[in-house]
Structure 1
């Protein structure tokens, strides 16, 4: 741990706040990584930073596992702290639509230090490089449960994507009027699991030949979809579907939509880890569990240990 000044202790250990527009990183735009001031754990990559015009450094993503989210005692705001040392960073806000990720980490400059790319190399500080994948395959309760078990998958979040509406919630999406699909938003380590493997799991997890339907779940929100984050994912998805089509595994044509990723809207918190938390419910027992067991048996070698 590093020695802190009195003001740093006030913010980091006593959960204080620096004055807006007073911190050294408010308008900082160098390339590198922001680290915890107290323990030097990596927190944010520079590409996550954006100008929110709020008076504090803002980030729309975090290094996986680096930041802990805790609801404030008043139940209105969510505090963010360093996962390694517990140092106070600031608060996180969702639903402001300031970036495609639709999230803002509002962080005190005094809670962080910055290391440029060349400094990271010199200090042998390894910052993992993760990629993202976004899939629609019916009810996200089942799909989330499956992908969360794969080795190399760092995080899976249920949510909504691909619609015309500039916002999304469960009731609105289920009405079919927003054009959003229920999706899982995946962060994965390509050094451990490849995008093609994720595609294999995706097509094993649902029926890609039923238009706007998975089993008894009907509507455009349940459509089969791949929301590609780059041209490489578009090419990989097309190659994969072409190969499946030649194998004639289904009597009907594949109707999976391939489109460019736009904005991901996180689902309400009660959807998180739904199968793990509510596995005894009838829907989970009758629909989710059989599919989960089938896919996991086929990809047993890809499961987390």
Structure 2
């Protein structure tokens, strides 16, 4: 979660409203994506935005599953909030016939942060076709061991992502005060293994319904989270989570965060290939190995020779 100013808290957490025509995104027309200011969850694409001449940024669509609609207590207006963190965005109006979609999300600029298209774009070239994926699913020892065995995965690095601090180390992150999650960053060849397959392995590798916890490992550093590197990954992650929800794969609601990737801090060297080097240790035998064996048996055809 991002640290908020007092005015941002007033709007986002206390459901306040900024003055009309005062926000930085009222006349903003750059290509990219608008994210939740509080949790960086993707909310709107630039193609959803239009000029409603109302004094606040207006959108006639939303990223699937990103925005929650709730009728106000007075029954007259519908509030919109970030589906991930509950932060107040504004209100939604229908029947104004301003666009073909006939809907207007009236959003406070201060509730959002913008990421330009070039920072969301997928990085690839003929010489470097690999892509990156960054996942958090509890202790990084567990998922590092699993993903490193998949065909098409070139490398897996353990580290930290998603915190407020400008640096991260194991002791600080384990305190739960920095806001970072233990993650792995995967470099993979999309011609061999798809991002959707990586998502399937991710959700088989942990319980996405336990908030800030995996087994006996508790704290925000163990949260379930997907840090998307581009808009395609954002869409794929939301589609995947929505499909799991609709199919009732899990008996409880999925709490996995989908956030825009920011900064990855590599973990200390002794975390590298931890299961491969220390597989005889009790934690590895009791926690990592059973999970590793279960996932590898299900994805045997995806395993490296």
Q: Confirm or deny a common fold (TM above 0.5).
A: yes
Q: Are positions 1:150 and 2:173 aligned together?
A: no
Cα distance between partner residues in 1 of 2:263 and 2:127: 25
User: In the TM superposition, what is the alpha-carbon distance from 1:242 to its structure 2 partner?
Assistant: 0.4
1:179 matched residue in structure 2: 179
Question: Runs in 1 of length 4+ with deviation above 3 angstroms?
Answer: none
How far off is 1:173 after superposition?
0.1
Which residue number corresponds to residue 130 of structure 1? 130
Is residue 302 of structure 1 aligned with residue 296 of structure 2? no
- 3-state SS of paired residue (1:225): strand
How far residue 251 of structure 1 moved from its aligned partner, in angstroms, is 1.5
- How big is each residue's C-alpha offset from its partner over 1:156-215, in whole Å with a ceiling of 9 and x where there is no partner? 000000000100000000000000000000000000000000000000000000000000
TM-score, length of structure 1 as denominator length: 0.59
Aligned twin of 1:63? none
Give, in whole Å, the separation in 2 of the partners of 1:197 and 1:299. 10
Whether 1:270 aligns to 2:248 is: no
CA-CA distance at 1:128 after TM superposition: 4.0
Residue number in structure 2 paired with 1:161: 161
In structure 1, what is the equivalent of residue 236 of structure 2?
236
Give the secondary structure class of the aligned counterpart of 1:295.
helix
SS at match of 1:150: coil
3-state SS of paired residue (1:203): helix
Q: Which ranges in structure 1 are unaligned for 5 or more consecutive residues?
A: 1-119, 121-125
Q: Distance in 2 between matches of 1:184 and 1:245?
A: 24
* Corresponding pairs, count: 181
The CA deviation string for residues 86-124 of structure 1, in whole angstroms up to 9 with x for no partner, is xxxxxxxxxxxxxxxxxxxxxxxxxxxxxxxxxx9xxxx
Tell me the distance in 2 between the aligned counterparts of 1:128 and 1:151: 17
- In 1: Cα distance, 2:225 partner to 2:196 partner: 15
Separation in 2 of the partners of 1:251 and 1:127? Answer: 44
Deviation at 1:146, TM superposition (A): 0.2
Counterparts of 1:225 and 1:240 in 2: how far apart (Å)? 13
SS where residue 304 of structure 1 aligns? Answer: coil
Corresponding residue for residue 285 of structure 1: 285
Pairing 1:1-305 to 2, within 5 Å after superposition: 127-305=127-305
Describe the SS at the equivalent of 1:134: strand
**How many Å apart are 1:261 and its aligned residue?**
0.2
Alpha-carbon distance between aligned partners in 1 of 2:274 and 2:148, rounded to the nearest angstrom: 11
Aligned equivalents of 2:170, 2:163: Cα separation in 1: 13
TM (norm. structure 2) is 0.59
